[in-house]
Amino acid sequence: MTNDHAFRVIVADTTRTARAVVEAQRVSGATARRLAELVTATVLIRETMAPTYRVQGIVKGAGGRGSLVGDAFPDGGTRGLAQVAAGTEFELGPGALMQVMRSLPNGSVQQGIVDVDQQGFGESLMKYLQESEQVVSCAALGVRFAEGGSDDAGSIVAAGGYVVQLLPEAERGLFAVMTARLEDFPSIHDFLGRDGFGAKLLLDEIAYAMPHTTLGESAVRFACRCSEASLLGAIASLGRSEIESLVEQGDSIEVQCDYCHADYTIAPERLRSLLLAS
């Protein structure tokens, strides 16, 4: 936060997280780029508005074709999901929408929906914060891939972004000054291409010559929430007759997690235990 309490700056280096999400989803090209951007946007929204609650960002592609999900948890664990038809790439364009779901202290979920333009999620992130949270903000995010010819060609080498918030006690004129400053600010892709890219580099550049105080740091990493216990919990939510039918078939149930592709095999005995009185 700037020492005059005019601005709050949230910066994120999501390189390793975005890379792991993309690798887990086995996507490349435009789909990989958009998924990494959405994961970064979801992390920034959580850190900005709800650091102690889960935040999901869901984007429907142009014409409703394909969808992406970013899922960020309070402990920093983050995962993503890409659902696109085989042989196609996820596309933004007319009709693309971003839905943000944020947990509230009373256990309910707040939802906001904004349009997504062809340029990506930076503008959509600002629009969401303005329309759904009534927070005036500037934001940018980006992803850089290794160039062709290297052993890591096509893999993510840098990903991150920032949000600059106008605080309630600040004068609107100050935001105009900050907006003008960020308009002349180098593209975030310039920073992604620098050696030693990280959150501190972004913060030092954004808050250059502005006295400020670092209020906190938090880790972000790829982590899936799947487990055999959660799978059994989902099966237990079925009606008793449906579970009995599965037991009678006598076959194991094989399930693969959509987020991390972990395989689970539920034996008939485990299903039978769901029918016993607790």
Residues 217 and 235 in one domain: no
Tens of pLDDT, residue by residue over 149-205, are 554 557 899 999 999 988 877 776 777 777 777 778 888 999 998 888 999 999 998
Domain harbouring 268, CATH code: 3.90.1280.10
Question: DSSP of 76-119, one letter per residue?
Answer: SEEEEEEE--TT------TT-EEEEEEE-TTS-EEEEEEE-BTT
Give the 3-state secondary structure of 122-169.
HHHHHHHHHHCCCCCEEEEEEEEECCCCCCCCCCEEEEEEEEEEECCC
Tell me which of 124 and 64 has the higher pLDDT: 124
Tens of pLDDT, residue by residue over 218-265, are 999 999 999 988 888 888 888 788 888 888 887 788 889 999 999 998
What is the distance between the alpha carbons of residues 164 and 170, in angstroms, rounded to a whole number? 13
Tens of pLDDT, residue by residue over 99-153, are 999 887 777 888 889 888 777 788 888 888 888 778 788 899 999 998 765 545 5
pLDDT score, position 238: 81
pTM for this prediction = 0.87
In a domain, 278, yes or no: no
Residues 161 and 232 in one domain: no
- The answer to whether 79 and 259 are in contact (CB under 8 A) is yes
pLDDT score, position 152: 57
Residues 125 and 242 in one domain: no
How many domains, the chain? 2
What is the distance between the alpha carbons of residues 184 and 114, in angstroms, rounded to a whole number? 26
In a domain, 32, yes or no: yes
pLDDT score, position 277: 59
In angstroms, the Cα distances linking 183 to 92, 112, 138, 178 are 24, 27, 10, 9
Q: Binning pLDDT at 50, 70 and 90, where does residue 217 land?
A: very high
**Phi, psi at residue 25, to the nearest 5°?**
-85, -10
Tens of pLDDT, residue by residue over 267-276, are 888 888 877 7
Instruction: For residue 153, give its domain range.
Output: 7-222
Residues 177 and 232 in one domain: no
